[in-house]
Amino acid sequence: MTFSFELLAQDTLTQARAGLIHTPHGDIPTPVFAPVGTQATVKTLTPADLHELGASLILANTYHLYLRPGPELIADFGGLHHFMGWDGPILTDSGGFQVFSLEGLREIDEDGVTFRSHLDGSKHRFTPEQVIAIQEKLGADIIMAFDECPSPEDRDYNIEALDRTHRWAERCRQAQQRSDQALYGIVQGGIFPDLRTQSAEFLTGLDFPGYSIGGLSVGESKADMHAILEVLHPILPAHKPRYLMGVGSPEDLFECVARGIDQFDCVLPTRIARNGAVFTPHGRVNLRNARFAADKAPIDPDCTCYTCRTFSLAYLRHLIIAKEILALRLTTIHNLHFMLDTMRRIRLSILDGSFADYKHDFLQKYQTVPEENRGKRK
Amino acid sequence: MTFSFELLAQDTLTQARAGLIHTPHGDIPTPVFAPVGTQATVKTLTPADLHELGASLILANTYHLYLRPGPELIADFGGLHHFMGWDGPILTDSGGFQVFSLEGLREIDEDGVTFRSHLDGSKHRFTPEQVIAIQEKLGADIIMAFDECPSPEDRDYNIEALDRTHRWAERCRQAQQRSDQALYGIVQGGIFPDLRTQSAEFLTGLDFPGYSIGGLSVGESKADMHAILEVLHPILPAHKPRYLMGVGSPEDLFECVARGIDQFDCVLPTRIARNGAVFTPHGRVNLRNARFAADKAPIDPDCTCYTCRTFSLAYLRHLIIAKEILALRLTTIHNLHFMLDTMRRIRLSILDGSFADYKHDFLQKYQTVPEENRGKRK
């Protein structure tokens, strides 16, 4: 077995856990935040940039890579790692989230989903077996079962979709041929504790090497999200990693780590960076703001990222106003550094028993943007 | 005197020269190609990238920086070097080329030019004194006299403009207050040998620390450009650097170095890079071409740039087709590496007496794009 999870520490005041995921492409200290590299590139960054940032896991999107450049091409290159020049761990999603988002362009049946490409309207079909075959060609270290993603507050649809997702999870388990990829089962059930319980129990019975929590951060309230995590915590096996898909914001890291989550991914830090918004210990700021026009300070004087070590707020604002491409990379570097560094500190605080204090201090300073952070999955 | 030029070698078969320009921000081995950083950034690259590429001089545009973010702001930051985080030598142009390109938006009189901003239509005025004051605020190591740039083939306009350019050159010399910047005079006169001779002789009489050759690479033939360089060679003082503004393509480097040029700048390598076109020893290729879709080779197997060390043609093409921002940076890195590395080899070949052979070998392999290379000044 080339994949395993070591649970190194369990916080006493919260459900926070620190661990280590072993993969064929290296170890992933957990909790971990994975930058999103939708099309086999974390937008604006090279693999060298990602190494410098200390990224230990990145995500790539099966749906996008299936359409372009195609799994056969990537397989011919020896997989995603070789294709994109990133030698660290990679996770691929199942494509389910993207396909189910194609409202009006997809049709679901018991066996799978027929959909039209958002690129050229061409017709395609995903089945559990097909999605596993694609992910085996892409060759990520961690892969996902094919799941249906209903709107989290639609109980009837969630009930109907859940059984199908469970049958698909079994078929994915059956279809898997490579032994060097860890296939995670995905817990669904919307905001409904009984459905989530049912899903977690069913999937635990299939003994996946890890469990994803899907269908959250897509419109429900934070309170609902937290409640679901609390329901799942005692059900999911402690010795398997737990991955909350598509989350989160800086404050989400704290709240969800405190509820037992080990893995995160989200386009938020990189997407808002390209709009000129950056994280600071006091919350988000937009660099377009005229108050930065002559500011000689960096984004955050305590930040050690290349952007903050090198450039003033005034220069960054100038690049943004002048529509210079470099701006996108510099803000992306800062925001990912913020997420990865915050996660490193969270992990250290779990290991030395100070997580609850760190969480309290961070959240007291950090002013959140109430609902804008949400529904940012790609 | 903080600026000086050392002539280290003179080729025996051609007029090629190798030298060293000393500036307050370091030495520039010549001949040199300067990447263009129009808005205080070489598009897509950080100063760290430029250092890794071995850039020893970059250009910034006075017109653009005057409009945005403004010379006062940059002066308040201690000059362009501090503002943009580049500690190596910088050259600024006079803004003349851009202002005279604003057809219909500018009016010339004996004292200067009144023009409207291309950004917001606001009214501005450049005089020789004003242009020197702006460049003193920007604080580059090498600055340019304010010159008028007529169409190179319009003899009457060239005659009329030349006297004004000469009077402006004298006024620029008078207006200069900083002693740590080298002010170059700009030779004009279109494609007319007698006018170029007159201009070079007049400006030589003013004893500038360096001489620029303006008004070329804007539509005239390569033969005309070469003829003018041959006319100027014996007139311009041998112990001063000669800068051919807005040139060139890879083949231009060889042809113009062979005619005594020490300094070049051009947006061509970076601009075509952003359109997916890259230099190879055999000429230019466009990475969008379907023949690269599954090609595992790098752009050039002998190239040592980060892009060629790390990525396949297929991956680069994927990034371009998928409209990924990273593509722009990777092709820019390659094209600048190609220019800078070619120039380093040119310099070594001058120093060891093999320039003519190297030129012959390079040009025999390199297939030029006849007229597309021209008129690429920004």
Spell out the domains of chain A, with CATH numbers in brackets: 4-272 (3.20.20.105), 276-365 (no CATH)
Chain A residues with CB inside 8 Å of B318's CB?
39-40, 68-69
Check residue B359 and give its pLDDT.
98
Residue B232 has φ and ψ, to the nearest 5°, of: -75, -30
**Pick the catalytic residue: A11, A93, A262, A300?**
A93
How many other CB atoms sit within 10 Å of the CB of residue A316? 26
Q: What is the mean pLDDT of residues B214-243?
A: 95
Provide the residue type at A338 as one letter. F
Q: Do A325 and B330 touch (CB under 8 A)?
A: no
**Calpha distance A316→A326 (Å, rounded):** 9
Helices (H), A176-213: 193-205
Helix H or strand E encompassing B200: helix B193-205
Contact B329 A324 (CB under 8 A): no
* Polymer length of chain A: 378
B255 Cβ neighbours under 8 A, 6+ residues apart: B222, B226
SS3 A9: strand
What's the CA gap between B38 and A361, in Å, rounded? 44
Cite the beta strand spans of B272-333 per DSSP E. Answer: 277-280, 283-286
- Provide the shortest C-alpha distance from residue A165 to chain B (in Å): 31
Decide if B83 and A314 are in contact by the 8 Å CB cutoff.
yes
Would the pLDDT of A57 be above 60? Answer: yes
Which active-site residues of B does the annotation give? 93, 265
Report the alpha-carbon distance of residue A27 to residue A336 in Å, rounded: 19
The answer to whether A172 touches A121, Cβ cutoff 8 Å, is no
Measure the CA–CA gap between A315 and B84, rounded to whole angstroms. 7
Would you list the DSSP string of B203-254? HHHTT-SEEEE-S-SSSS-HHHHHHHHHHHTTTS-TTS-EEETT---HHHHH
Do residue B44 and residue A325 have CB atoms under 8 angstroms apart? yes
- Pairing status of strand B17-23 against strand A26-30: unpaired
| Whether the predicted pLDDT of A369 surpasses 80 | no
What is the reported pLDDT for A80? 98
C-alpha dihedral sign at B279, B280, B282, B286: negative
Inter-chain touch A329–B46, beta carbons under 8 Å: yes
Reading the block at residue A76, the tokens are 């011919």
Do the beta carbons of residue A189 and residue A163 sit within 8 Å? no
Q: What is the per-residue pLDDT for B2?
A: 86
Beta partners for B265?
Answer: B34
Beta pairing partners, B72: none
Distance CA A257, CA A254 (A): 5
Pairing of strands A58-60, A32-34: unpaired
Q: What is the mean pLDDT of residues A18-46?
A: 98
Amino acid at B214: G
Cα-only R_g, chain A = 20
Rounded to an integer, the average pLDDT of A71-99 is: 97
pLDDT for position A253: 98
| pLDDT at residue A91 tops 70 | yes
> Which residues, including other chains, have CB under 8 Å from residue A215's CB and lie 6 or more apart?
A149, A150, A152, A188, A189, A190
Instruction: Tell me if A365 sits within 8 A of A23, measured CB to CB.
Output: no
Interchain proximity A326–B44, CB inside 8 Å = yes
Say which residue the tokens 């200290």 belong to.
A29
pLDDT score for A218 = 85
Distance from CA of B175 to the nearest CA of A (A): 28
A242: closest CA of chain B, how far (Å): 31
Q: Are strands A263-265 and B106-109 parallel, antiparallel or unpaired?
A: unpaired
Provide the pLDDT confidence category of residue A376 given band limits of 50, 70 and 90. Answer: very low
Hey, are the CB atoms on A83 and B319 less than 8 Å from each other? no
Query: CB-CB: which of B83, B312, B325 is closest to A325?
Result: B325
In this prediction, residues B94-122 reach a mean pLDDT of 92
CA contacts within 13 A on the Cβ side of B75: 10
Q: How far apart are CA A344 and CA A18, in angstroms?
A: 10
| From B68, B84, B310, residue closest to A85, measured CB to CB | B310
3-class DSSP assignment, residue A148: coil
Shortest Cα–Cα distance, B80 to chain A (Å) = 10
Residue contact B83–A306, C-beta within 8 A = no
Give yes or no for a contact between A175 and A129, defined as CB atoms under 8 angstroms apart.
yes
Q: What residues of B are in contact with residue A319 (Cβ under 8 Å)?
A: 39, 41
pTM over the 0.80 mark: yes
Look at residue A189 in the predicted model and tell me its pLDDT: 97
Which residues in chain A are closer than 8 Å to B83, comparing Cβ atoms?
312, 314-315
Contact A39 B69 (CB under 8 A): no
- Mean local confidence (pLDDT), B143-171: 95
Residue range B312-350, pLDDT digits in tens: 999 999 999 999 999 999 999 999 999 999 999 999 999
Asked if residue A69 has a cis previous peptide bond (ω within 30° of 0), the answer is: yes
Q: Residue A370: what pLDDT?
A: 60
Q: For residue A76, list chain B residues with Cβ-Cβ distance below 8 A.
A: 294
Answer whether A325 sits within 8 Å of B329, measured CB to CB.
Answer: yes
Pairs from B354-358 (Cβ < 8 Å, separation ≥ 24): B355/B11, B355/B13, B355/B14, B355/B16, B355/B257, B355/B258, B356/B11, B356/B13, B356/B14, B356/B258
Read off the tokens for B147: 């010159």
**Chain B interface residues (partner A, CB cutoff 8 A):** 39-41, 43-48, 64, 68-69, 73, 76-77, 83-85, 293-294, 296, 306, 310-312, 314-315, 318-319, 321-322, 324-326, 328-330
Average pLDDT, chain A: 95
Contact residues, chain B, for A44 at CB < 8 Å: 325-326, 329
Q: What is the 3-state secondary structure (H, E, C) of A235-297?
A: CCCCCCCEEECCCCCHHHHHHHHCCCCCEEECCHHHHHHHCCEEEECCEEEECCCHHHCCCCC
- Mark out chain A residues that contact chain B at CB-CB < 8 A: 39-41, 43-48, 68-69, 73, 76-77, 83-85, 293-294, 296, 306, 310-312, 314-315, 318-319, 321-322, 324-326, 328-330
Position A239 scores a pLDDT of 98
Nearest CA in chain B to A44: B326
pLDDT at B84 over 90: yes
List, for residues A135-188, the tens digit of each pLDDT value: 999 999 999 999 999 999 999 999 999 999 999 999 999 999 999 999 999 999
Angle between helices B250-257 and B222-232 (to 10 degrees): 30
Residue with the bigger pLDDT between B330 and B375: it is B330
Beta bridge partners of A285: A278
B22's tokens: 């000393």
Using CA atoms of A126, A132, A135, A141 in order, give the dihedral in degrees to the nearest 10. 150
Q: What is the pLDDT of residues A184-229, one digit of tens each?
A: 999 999 999 999 999 999 999 999 999 999 999 888 999 999 999 9
List of chain A residues whose C-beta atoms are within 8 Å of the C-beta of residue B311: 85
Instruction: Look up residue B266 and give its two tokens.
Output: 């051009």
Average pLDDT, rounded, for chain B: 95
Q: Do B294 and A73 count as a contact with CB atoms less than 8 A apart? A: yes
pLDDT digits (tens, 9 = 90+) for A352-363: 999 999 999 999
For residue A1, the model assigns a pLDDT of: 53
| Contact yes or no for A173/A145 (Cβ under 8 A) | yes
Tell me, what's the ipTM? 0.96
Inter-chain CB proximity B294 and A324 less than 8 Å? no
Query: Could you give the 3-state DSSP secondary structure of residue A347?
Result: helix
Task: Answer yes or no: are the C-beta atoms of B250 and B312 closer than 8 Å.
Answer: no
B249 CA to chain A: closest CA distance, Å? 23
pLDDT in tens, B262-301: 999 999 999 999 999 999 999 999 999 999 999 999 999 9
Average pLDDT over residues B76-101: 96
Q: What is the dihedral of CA A81, A87, A88, A89, to 10 degrees?
A: 30
Chains A and B form CB pairs within 8 A to the count of: 99
* Closest partner CB to A45 (pick from B45, B306, B326): B326
Q: Which of A252, A262, A265, A300 is catalytic?
A: A265
Residues of B in contact with A84 (CB under 8 A): 315
Six token digits for residue B332: 């820019």
Return phi, psi of residue A264, to 5°.
-135, 155
Around Cβ B221, how many Cβ atoms within 10 Å? 13
Tokens representing A32 are: 């971990």
The 10s digit of each residue's pLDDT in A237-259 is: 999 999 999 999 999 999 999 99
3-state secondary structure of B364: helix
Of B263, B256, B265, B217, give the one whose Cα is nearest residue B241: B263
At residue B370, the pLDDT reads 60
Q: Do B85 and A310 touch (CB under 8 A)?
A: yes
